[in-house]
Amino acid sequence: MRRSEIWGSALLILTAAIYTWVTFYFSAHPLAPDGQRLIFFWGIDGDAVVGLTYLVGGLVGCAGLLLLVPSLIRRVSLRWLRVLTGWATAVAGIAAAPFVGLFLLVSLILCFGTTVREVAPDGRSIIVTQDEFDGDVVHIYSEFDAFHYRWSGEAPELSGPRTISSENCRLETSGEALVLSCGAGTVTIHSDQRPAG
């Protein structure tokens, strides 16, 4: 077995292991006892970790294929079959390139969604997420435990381009409720964890 075959196989196995771990640990979102989705947060949110891991894993997998496939094609003993296999592999690679590029682009976009953690004066905290496409999808998550936040609902009042940022948002207490203000939009999060505009 050639060195390129060993490295190519190792990179493909590493990619499969990374994808399996991320899929089971981060992508399969755990649920709170009431059935609401929980997200992981430890400085960055779980979706950013998934996107970054998929991006790196995709690049590592492509590198593994680039090391492994040419070496395997060279092992074909009949010249005409080796040439045919090489051309078929090249055509398949060209056909797959747009899909691989799209996968890597979506993984990159997952890395850069806006996620802001706000802490109220009484110590309670929330996570606010906003998509990077046009900013029209805003979700609020309330604190569940040390590393997980529970989905509380959407907040269309806060949607718009670049409305969510740590400089632009403020979380205050109002009795049992929390009041989140981002720019001109304000959302009240009641003790039952549902945002109300």
Do 45 and 26 share a domain, yes or no? yes
Q: Which of 63, 87, 111 is the last residue of a domain?
A: 111
Question: What number of other Cβ atoms are within 10 A of residue 33's Cβ?
Answer: 7
| CA nearest to 190, candidates 181, 127, 180 | 180
Do 87 and 31 share a domain, yes or no? yes
Q: How far is CA 82 from the centre of its chain?
A: 40
The verdict on pTM exceeding 0.85 is: no
Q: Residue 62 corresponds to which tokens in the numbers above? A: 């492509």
**pLDDT score for 113:** 67
> What is the span of the domain harbouring residue 143?
114-196
> What DSSP character marks residue 176?
T
What is the 3-state composition of the chain as percent helix, strand, coil, each rounded to the nearest 5? Answer: 45, 25, 30
Do 143 and 166 share a domain, yes or no? yes
The list of the chain residues with pLDDT below 70 reads 26-32, 35-36, 40, 42-44, 46, 113, 132-136, 160-167, 191-197
Do 134 and 170 share a domain, yes or no? yes
Q: Residue 98 corresponds to which tokens in the numbers above? A: 């747009």
**pLDDT score for 32:** 67
3-state SS string over 71-136? Answer: HHHHCCCCHHHHHHHHHHHHHHHHHHHHHHHHHHHHHHHHHCCEEEEEECCCCCEEEEEECCCCCC
Residues 60-102: pLDDT tens digits?
Answer: 888 888 888 888 898 889 999 999 999 999 999 999 999 988 9
**pLDDT score for 31:** 67
Do 125 and 68 share a domain, yes or no? no
Residues 126-140: pLDDT tens digits?
Answer: 888 777 666 667 778
